[in-house]
Amino acid sequence: MEGHFLTDRGQVRSHNEDSGGIFYNSNQQLLAVIADGMGGHQAGDVASQLAIDLVRDKWLPQTGISSPEKIETWLSNTVSEVNHSIYEYSLKNKECEGMGTTIVIAICLEEFVTIAHVGDSRCYILNENGFKQITNDHSLVNELVRSGQISEDDAEQHPRKNVLLKAMGTETNVSEDILTVEWEAGDRLLLCSDGLSNKLNDEDLAAFIREAKDLGDIGSEMIELANERGGEDNISLILVQHDSSLKAGENE
């Protein structure tokens, strides 16, 4: 699998509270992860980097996991352990009190991808059926949309748009969403923090990810546009393409 991770401070924030990475275990299986930290001072940095470091350290020694069931179990256990570690760290370090982070993790094997997430960092897929978001934000406005109280257009301008219903490290326990989807040669994944998805809508993202270009170039162009549109938040993304001699735009 080919993957690229990019992150940018944006145009307004004084520092970057996003963290992420692409890691291969001892069997060369790919794990992609993005965390968007939150908290006073630099606590958001601490929470997101702690999450990434813990996930990485648990993934690298793995000798290979072959079934969706085993991967889903591994992800569930990992999210629980990482959540507990961040929460305990915040209790022991007063300057980090109340810190937390979103997380979105994708484990990419030949026949399927398994995704776990907490918060509003997202995962999208481009395949033969088109481009779509495959995670559901754990946010107040998304719950209002799902319950029919507001429209998707209303959600874009809602004053409490950034309120999360779940985050890693803010409570003793957290419940993550996990799903497994099939994918094939030429398909692409996009993981991102809300610094990207708040500035580029689904049509924008789809247009970029369909381009028959180097993944790193596509990612850089998306970040550039998010910054042109204000860049009020940190911007992070990961693009992963299933191994193939075909470009994504050539097999549709």
Please report, for the chain, the start and end positions of each structural domain, with discontinuous segments joined by +: 2-130+164-244
E-only strand ranges, the chain: 2-8, 18-24, 30-38, 100-101, 103-108, 112-118, 122-127, 130-133, 177-182, 188-192, 235-241
Average pLDDT of the chain is 91
Name the token pair of 38: 């939150």
Q: How does 216-247 read in b/e, with b if 16+ C-beta sit within 10 Å?
A: eebbbebbebbbeeebebbbbbbbbbbeeeee
DSSP 160: T
Q: 6-10, 78-82, 158-162 — which is least confidently predicted?
A: 158-162
Hey, what's the torsion of the CAs at 163, 169, 175, 176, to 10 degrees?
A: 80
In the chain, the amino acid numbered 227 is N
Distance, CA of 220 to CA of 44 (rounded, Å): 24
pLDDT level of residue 140 (50, 70, 90 thresholds): confident
Q: Is the pLDDT of residue 78 over 80?
A: yes
Distance, CA of 167 to CA of 176 (rounded, Å): 9
In this structure, the chain runs to a length of: 252
pLDDT level of residue 162 (50, 70, 90 thresholds): confident
Q: Is the pLDDT of residue 128 over 70?
A: yes
- pLDDT, residue 142, reads 75
Over residues 190-210, mean pLDDT? 97
Residue 231: CA count within 13 A, CB half-sphere: 19
Q: 47-61, 128-142, 168-182, 183-197 — which is least confidently predicted?
A: 128-142
Q: Is the pLDDT of residue 236 over 50?
A: yes
Nearest CA among 168, 165, 18 for reference residue 83: 168
Full-prediction pTM beyond 0.85?
yes
Distance, CA of 117 to CA of 33 (rounded, Å): 9
CB 104 within 8 A of CB 152: no
- pLDDT, residue 123, reads 98
pLDDT level of residue 41 (50, 70, 90 thresholds): low
Over residues 102-130, mean pLDDT? 97
Helix or strand or coil: residue 174?
Answer: coil
Q: 43-47, 62-66, 128-132 — which is least confidently predicted?
A: 62-66
Name the token pair of 169: 């490290």
Q: Which CATH architecture has domain 2-130+164-244?
A: 4-Layer Sandwich (3.60)
Distance, CA of 204 to CA of 128 (rounded, Å): 18
Over residues 177-187, mean pLDDT? 96
